[in-house]
Amino acid sequence: MLTCDFTSFSKPHRVWEGSGNVAALDLLRATLREPQTLEAFFDEVALSQGADKRLDAAIKDVKESFADTSTIEYRARRVAENLALVLQASLLVRHGHPAVADAFCATRLAGDWGGAFGTLPPGLDLAPIIDRATPKVG
């Protein structure tokens, strides 16, 4: 008698379909399987600690997101997103234009960016950003 395990042929739950979810889960598996990768990440972003209070808070939040691994798969996309944002902010704070780094930290880390691309909080120094983007003719 031939039997078949239908679970091996069934589609995965729809909630996990898509490359973003797969990438986020792969990232989590790698960091949990090889903790030194996470240590290297935090060593890298620690180089910018103290330069921006919003970045410091985001680094702390990302560290705390790994404290409870019982629900981390449900939070996989958010954790992956926050890892990327913290690394981007760290690199901008250390190597980017101060106005660009400030705008990035204000919008991506402080949460004041709304749901539409380009939404900015008041008080940012936008002149240097606009100047950098304006073509120089002549």
Which token pair is 2? 């031939």
Decide if 4 is inside a domain: no
pLDDT score of 5: 47
Task: Tell me if 3 is assigned to some domain.
Answer: no
Tokens 């913290």 — which residue?
86
Whether residue 61 contacts residue 83, with contact meaning beta carbons closer than 8 Å, is answered with no
Instruction: For the chain, report the end-to-end CA distance as a whole number of angstroms.
Output: 82
Q: pTM here?
A: 0.78
106: how many CB neighbours lie within 10 A of its CB? Answer: 19
For residue 53, being part of any structural domain is answered with yes
Which of 7, 132, 9, 19 lies closest to 80, judged by CA?
Answer: 19
Q: What span, in angstroms and rounded, lies between the C-alpha atoms of 58 and 35? A: 20
Residue 6 lies in a domain: no
Decide if 128 is inside a domain.
yes
Q: Has residue 31 been placed in a domain?
A: yes
Q: Structural domain of residue 101, as residue ranges?
A: 17-133
Kindly state whether residue 11 falls inside one of the protein's structural domains: no
Number of domains observed in the structure of the chain: 1
What is the model's pLDDT at position 8? Answer: 46
pLDDT of the residue at 116: 75
- What is residue 56's predicted lDDT score, i.e. its pLDDT? 98
Residue stretches of the chain with pLDDT short of 70: 1-18, 112-113
Please, what sign has the CA dihedral across residues 102, 105, 108, 113?
A: negative
Instruction: With respect to residue 116, please indicate whether it lies within any of the assigned structural domains.
Output: yes
